[in-house]
Amino acid sequence: MKIPAPRGHVSATLIDLLLTRGPGREHSYETLNLLVDEALAATPDLLRDEDLQLTLFCLYELHYSGLDGVEDAAEWDPELIRVRARLEAAFEGVLRRTVPVPELPSPESEAVAKTLFDLAADDDGPSVSRFIAGKASVEQLREFLILRSVYQLKEADPHSWAIPRLPVGRAKAALIEIQADEYGGGRVERMHSKLFGTTMEGLGLDSGYGYYIDLVPALTLASSNAMSLFGLNRRLRGAIAGHLAAFEMTSSIPNSFYARGFRRHGFSDDVTYYFDEHVEADAVHEQIAARDLAGGLAAAEPELLADIIFGAATVLALDALLGEDQLRAWKAGESALLAPLAHGAPAEPAVSAAAAGATA
């Protein structure tokens, strides 16, 4: 992925360090650690802190596609892992304190599935999908795709970290069954991340991973970071399993609304195929994820039960915050991105904000 534009002292220091790693830079790590500590102490809202969420996102990205111009070996640089762990501890702390969690069921498959289905059904957060279906302009559809692209262009990857971390048995079989379908069941052209790219291109957007990263607000990065946090830490394997379950359980119906919104503007089946596919796929996945993955894991490792439910509740809580921010912006005729998309031109961070309101 391209190197994002820094959003403050911490991300600027990290990016500078990543590009110039090597002997003699010890003091830069010290500076970075100090800046992280100061920023963590000072931030009023870690979930919406542009500088810190981007910093964490970049550190995680070293484990996915890497960052252009940064050595692959930076992934396991102990100093960078140390910085990541500090940010993760604070981030996890915020999620644990703020995500509302329902009463725990017994650690049996059907009881866990019922709790998760009830949790998803009680979700009465603001509905981005209804807005997309009935009201969104083409420009807002583009913004919607750009926001979603942070995850959707690497769809399924954060949950794949869990595969080797689940015990041999029902939960692991379920995760593999879901993930195989996510990656196209052996057919590249059906890989979900690839289908999302086709949808982006259908609206004249660039489908390169990370192309629009500089336009994506902290909260969207936080949503991606939560998946990486749960996926990359073995101790949180319950949370990543619950996360996937809730993800699948809040997908098929919203995706039918998204498809409607794109059809309303005359976009072809090729463009809506990503959403149409998810209506059908996730109606299958949610059953497997609730009962066999989340329920199966709770039965096999009952001590993970609380984290399974926490991971699921995190999806709903973050989605509600994201929906609030997006709808507030769109209903006010503003961009939900950090800066409106410049037509036809490559994305420029936060410069030409003036023309935004007029287009909506």
Among positions 34, 81, 163, 253, the unique one binding other proteins when judged by CB under 8 A? 253
- What number of chain residues touch other proteins (CB under 8 A)? 25
The answer to the question of residue 334 lying near other proteins (CB under 8 A) is no
CA angle 258, 183, 202 (to 5 degrees): 40
The answer to the question of residue 185 lying near other proteins (CB under 8 A) is yes
CA angle 148, 4, 333 (to 5 degrees): 45
Among positions 252, 272, 314, 335, the unique one binding other proteins when judged by CB under 8 A? 252
Instruction: Please tell me the distance from the alpha carbon of residue 330 to that of residue 328, in angstroms, as a whole number.
Output: 6
What are 35-43's contacts with CB under 8 Å, separation 24+?
A: 35/9, 35/10, 36/10, 36/83, 36/86, 36/87, 37/86, 39/8, 39/9, 39/10, 40/86, 40/87, 40/90
Given the rule CB under 8 A, which of 126-134, 228-236, 279-287, 342-350 is the region that contacts other proteins? 279-287
| Footprint on residues 121-180 left by other proteins (CB under 8 A) | 121, 177, 180
Question: Both ends of the chain: CA-CA distance in Å?
Answer: 30
CA 13 to chain centre: 24
Among positions 105, 291, 307, 322, the unique one binding other proteins when judged by CB under 8 A? 291
Given the rule CB under 8 A, which of 45-53, 73-81, 199-207, 275-283 is the region that contacts other proteins? 275-283
String of contacts with other proteins for each residue 38-77, x by CB under 8 A: ----------------------------------------
Given the rule CB under 8 A, which of 73-81, 117-125, 224-232, 330-338 is the region that contacts other proteins? 117-125
Residue positions counted in the chain: 360
Are residues 17 and 28 in contact, defined by beta-carbon separation less than 8 angstroms?
yes
Count of Cβ atoms closer than 10 Å to residue 174 Cβ? 26
CA trace torsion 153, 63, 83, 87 (10° rounding): 40
- Report in angstroms how near the CB of residue 143 gets to other proteins at its nearest: 25
Among positions 30, 37, 45, 110, the unique one binding other proteins when judged by CB under 8 A? 110
The answer to the question of residue 286 lying near other proteins (CB under 8 A) is yes
CA angle 167, 193, 220 (to 5 degrees): 85
Are residues 162 and 182 in contact, defined by beta-carbon separation less than 8 angstroms?
no
Q: Which is nearer to other proteins, 276 or 348 (CB)?
A: 276
Q: Which is nearer to other proteins, 78 or 185 (CB)?
A: 185
- Report in angstroms how near the CB of residue 132 gets to other proteins at its nearest: 17
The answer to the question of residue 280 lying near other proteins (CB under 8 A) is yes
Q: Which is nearer to other proteins, 104 or 283 (CB)?
A: 283
The answer to the question of residue 9 lying near other proteins (CB under 8 A) is no
Given the rule CB under 8 A, which of 91-99, 109-117, 293-301, 341-349 is the region that contacts other proteins? 109-117
The answer to the question of residue 117 lying near other proteins (CB under 8 A) is yes
CA 80 to chain centre: 22
The answer to the question of residue 287 lying near other proteins (CB under 8 A) is yes
The answer to the question of residue 21 lying near other proteins (CB under 8 A) is no
The answer to the question of residue 256 lying near other proteins (CB under 8 A) is yes
CA 21 to chain centre: 28
DSSP H or E segment with residue 239: helix 237-249
Q: At what angle do helices 269-287 and 192-202 cross, to 10 degrees?
A: 150
The answer to the question of residue 306 lying near other proteins (CB under 8 A) is no
Q: Which is nearer to other proteins, 77 or 248 (CB)?
A: 248
Are residues 298 and 308 in contact, defined by beta-carbon separation less than 8 angstroms?
yes
**Residues in contact with other proteins by the rule CB under 8 A:** 110, 113-114, 117, 120-121, 177, 180-181, 185, 190, 252-253, 256, 277, 279-284, 286-288, 291
